[in-house]
Amino acid sequence: MYNSLLNLSEEGKLQIVSRLIQAIINNSYVETKSLHPIVHRMKLSLLDGAGLLMLVSLDEDKLLAQNVPAGDIPLFKYIIYRLAIELAEEDSANIWISLDQHEDVVVLLSAETYPDASQIAKDFLQKIQNIQFPHMELSLSAGLSSSFEDILMVHDAYLEASEDMPKSQFKKMQRSIPNRQTAAEPDGNLVHKAKQYIHSHFANPISLALIAEEIGVSPNYLSTLFHNEVGESYIKYLTGIRMKNAVNYMKSNPAMKIYEIAERVGYVNVKHFSYVFKQYYSVSPGEYQQKSL
């Protein structure tokens, strides 16, 4: 079984990774639990440093305005998907392609730093947009997530990338997503509960889906509600809490090692922790720690 996994064709590996990404996005726990170890056994490095998720959507309204039959739109979406796969195979960067429930292209990529990953994403989108179709103009919209270091955070990154889409596209995507799973509780109470959970569990692996399950709403609804009420995404809020607690550890225990601080605030990758810290405070953790002495 193990050898057969290693000998899978590139297309076969891509399909397994694509299914894993879809399973995480859709909160399919059973499928995620079965596919995640398989990808690990195949020794596939899905993330190498700062991860980023980009969502690429075809502007259907502009196609319809060009008298393209509505029934042909899925075909154009599939063409964009196949183009993305081919471009990813040609690219030297670590890029993986999948589809979401709306048949929009999900691009998972990583680089040493988030700015590097962001630039790779923008260049990749430009390559797709540069493909010319005879007598046809394909307009694409894209949304980017914040950085993340764990493949299991893809669901949260997907929701964030969805929110980063142009408003018209985001609303279009939201039409088929159910909102609340509970009723009769004020929105402010739900956000308060979510923030309480983050403050209590920031040192552990944490996801928006887990918080949503705890307070009894859908992850998509909580993501939108949290952003509207707090003014920033769940991931950015969580990052802020982790960074502030990292500083507290530095001040209260100057002898603590950077990797120990990283672990205590929920980061498994000290290199990624150092990058996020510097983005947040404009100095490295070591420099900040020296100033605190």
Reference 46, options 7, 95, 86, 85; nearest CA is 95
Reference 240, options 271, 293, 195, 286; nearest CA is 195
229 CB contacts (<8 Å, ≥6 apart)? 187, 188, 191
Beta-carbon-side half-sphere exposure of residue 76 (alpha carbons within 13 Å): 23
Query: Which amino acid appears at position 175 of this protein?
Result: R
The pLDDT, as a whole number, for residue 3 is 54
* Structure confidence at residue 287 as a pLDDT band (50, 70, 90): very high
* Structure confidence at residue 107 as a pLDDT band (50, 70, 90): very high
| 100 vs 92: CA distance, rounded Å | 24
Return the SS3 of 208.
helix
The pLDDT, as a whole number, for residue 135 is 64
* Structure confidence at residue 84 as a pLDDT band (50, 70, 90): very high
Q: Is 53 a residue whose pLDDT tops 90? A: yes
Q: Which CATH class is domain 47-174?
A: alpha beta
pLDDT tens-place string over residues 7-32? 677 788 889 999 999 999 987 878 88
* Structure confidence at residue 172 as a pLDDT band (50, 70, 90): low
The pLDDT, as a whole number, for residue 6 is 54
The pLDDT, as a whole number, for residue 266 is 87
Return the SS3 of 271.
helix
pLDDT-wise least confident of 3-17, 92-106, 186-200, 273-287: 3-17
The pLDDT, as a whole number, for residue 143 is 94
Beta-carbon-side half-sphere exposure of residue 136 (alpha carbons within 13 Å): 19
Q: Is 173 a residue whose pLDDT tops 80? A: no
* Structure confidence at residue 183 as a pLDDT band (50, 70, 90): very low
> 47-174 and 236-292: same fold?
no
236-292: CATH topology: Arc Repressor Mutant, subunit A (1.10.10)
pLDDT tens-place string over residues 116-171? 999 999 999 999 988 866 666 778 999 999 888 778 789 889 988 988 888 655 55
The pLDDT, as a whole number, for residue 181 is 45
* Structure confidence at residue 212 as a pLDDT band (50, 70, 90): confident
What average pLDDT does the segment 88-110 reach?
93
Residue ranges per domain, the chain? 47-174, 187-231, 236-292
Mean pLDDT of the residues in the chain: 84
Reference 236, options 226, 250, 249; nearest CA is 226
The pLDDT, as a whole number, for residue 291 is 83
What average pLDDT does the segment 72-95 reach?
91
* Structure confidence at residue 47 as a pLDDT band (50, 70, 90): confident
The pLDDT, as a whole number, for residue 142 is 94
The pLDDT, as a whole number, for residue 4 is 58
The pLDDT, as a whole number, for residue 180 is 44
* More reliable by pLDDT, 65 or 198: 198
What average pLDDT does the segment 276-291 reach?
90
pLDDT tens-place string over residues 216-244? 888 778 888 888 888 888 888 999 999 99
| 153 vs 86: CA distance, rounded Å | 26
